[in-house]
Amino acid sequence: MSKKSPGRNPDADLLLLIDRHRRLWGEWDRLHHVDEDHPEIERIWYQVLDAARAVVLTPAFTAAGLDGKREVVRLNEMDTGDVHGLVAFALHMDEHRLAAATAA
């Protein structure tokens, strides 16, 4: 990821990852509704999962970043299969980071 610079949105990288996830999710959903046996579905699904993991592991610094991250978690049902609590922990840390920045 790129360095943070003054005046740059601190969630610029995260928002790009969220946008990538949305585009991949849309493509997977479109293909899935057209033809459940489409040969590209599995490949795109793995890209969706990789994008979702990258989103969850990237810290959020703004409300928009955290909201986008929550959307990815919800779409991928990552909150229901969070066996070790890693997704919940990542969101918890983001919430505290955002609260601290807002309070400052």
User: Which of the 8 DSSP states describes residue 60?
Assistant: P
Q: How confident is the model at residue 1 (pLDDT cuts 50, 70, 90)?
A: very low
Taking residue 97's Cβ as centre, other Cβ atoms within 10 Å add up to 17
Q: Residue 39 and residue 96: Cα distance in Å, rounded?
A: 42
Q: Tokens 């989103």 identify what position?
A: 55
Structure tokens at 23: 């585009």
Residue 78 contacts residue 89 (beta carbons within 8 Å): no
Largest CA distance in the chain: 52
The pLDDT tens digits of the residues spanning 54-82 come to: 999 999 999 999 999 999 999 988 877 76
pTM of structure = 0.82
